[in-house]
Amino acid sequence: MQPKPVVLRILDVISILVLGIAAYLALVIAPTERVMGDVQRIFYFHVGTAWTALLGFIFAAVLSVIYLITKDRKWDRIQVAAIEVSLVFFLITIVLGSIWARPVWNTWWTWDPRLTTATITELIYIAYFMLRQGIDDPDRRARFGAIYALLGGLSAPITFFAIRLFRTIHPVVIGGSNPEADGSFSMTGDMLNVFFFALFTFTIIFIDLFWNRIRLGDLQEKVEQLKLKVMM
């Protein structure tokens, strides 16, 4: 087994450090928002995780195309890593958003376009893993996974438009109006700095986890090959 690359080790440490700093900045340094109060501090981590998760999903759809053209399983392993980390990040986004929404919108949940699209996106990628689990042949698993991730990546933006057309005509009855109108605020200098640092933090953490996950996938592949060799 090859040892963990030094750069990755360093990145692990950096991730933990910047996460600590970002938490300190968001919870202590950032000014308290006038209307919403302290709960607004969730915003920094909420957008940080959402931003990286969405980039991860888009990246995964691009990887689908690359895999389908090259048929190199390396791209499949990278795709699994991207989707897995993004799935967790996006779940964190949804949970954080829900906690924020309780005092601000007066409800944990409302079927707003963004929230609904987020839910459907999570479901698509959960289905992605269920599909992969049901297939034994690794090449077929990679092919089907790539196709499904591509379909999912295409359908998510369409879903967003479809719900928008629903909800802009029917107002959201429970929980007030849409997020732009309810619970919006403008960021001042310090808030902006913390915000960008949070984005940076989660990008670093994402890259770190992503890299670790790819390495795990490579090792898994190797173990499987060794097992086959022993059986022969």
Partner 1 sequence: MDAHPTPSPSFLQAIFAIVWKDLRAEFRSFELVSSMLVFSLLVILIFNFALELDIKTRQSVTAGVLWTTFAFAGTLGLNRSMAIEKDRGSLDGLLLAPVDRSAIYFGKFISNLAFMLLVEIIVLPIYSILYNTNLFQPGLLLVILLGSIGYTAVGTLLSAMSVQTRTRDVLLPILLFPVAFSVLLAAVKASGGFLNNSELTEILLPINLLIAYDVIFIAVSFMVFDTIVEE
Q: Which residues bind partner 1 (CB under 8 A)?
A: 68, 120, 123-124, 127, 130-131, 133-136, 140, 143-144, 146-148, 150-152, 154-155, 158-159, 161-163, 165-166, 169
Dihedral of CA atoms 83, 192, 117, 178 in degrees, nearest 10, equals: 170
Cα 188 to its chain centre, rounded Å, is 27
Q: List the one residue out of 16, 26, 20 whose CA is nearest residue 46.
A: 26
Least distance between partner 1 and beta carbon 112 (Å): 14
Contact call for residues 210 and 38 (beta carbons, < 8 A): no
**Residues 117, 50: Cα–Cα separation, whole Å:** 12
CB nearer to partner 1: give 122 or 182.
122
| Cα–Cα distance list, 193 to 17, 65, 162, 190, 199 (Å) | 17, 37, 35, 5, 10
Supply the minimum distance, in Å, between the C-beta of residue 182 and partner 1: 23
220: Cβ contacts below 8 Å, ≥ 6 apart: none
Pick between residue 136 and residue 180 the one whose CB is nearest to partner 1: 136
Structure tokens at 123: 């479901």
Nearer to partner 1, 113 or 183 (CB): 113
Q: How far is the CB of 128 from partner 1 (least distance, A)?
A: 9
Sign of the CA dihedral running 105, 109, 113, 115: positive
Least Cβ distance, residue 126 to partner 1 (angstroms): 8
Q: Which is nearer to partner 1, 95 or 130 (CB)?
A: 130
Smallest gap from residue 191 Cβ to partner 1 (A):
35
> Tokens in use for 25?
């900045």
Report the nearest approach of partner 1 to the CB of residue 120 (Å). Answer: 5
Closest CB to partner 1 among residues 90, 210: 90
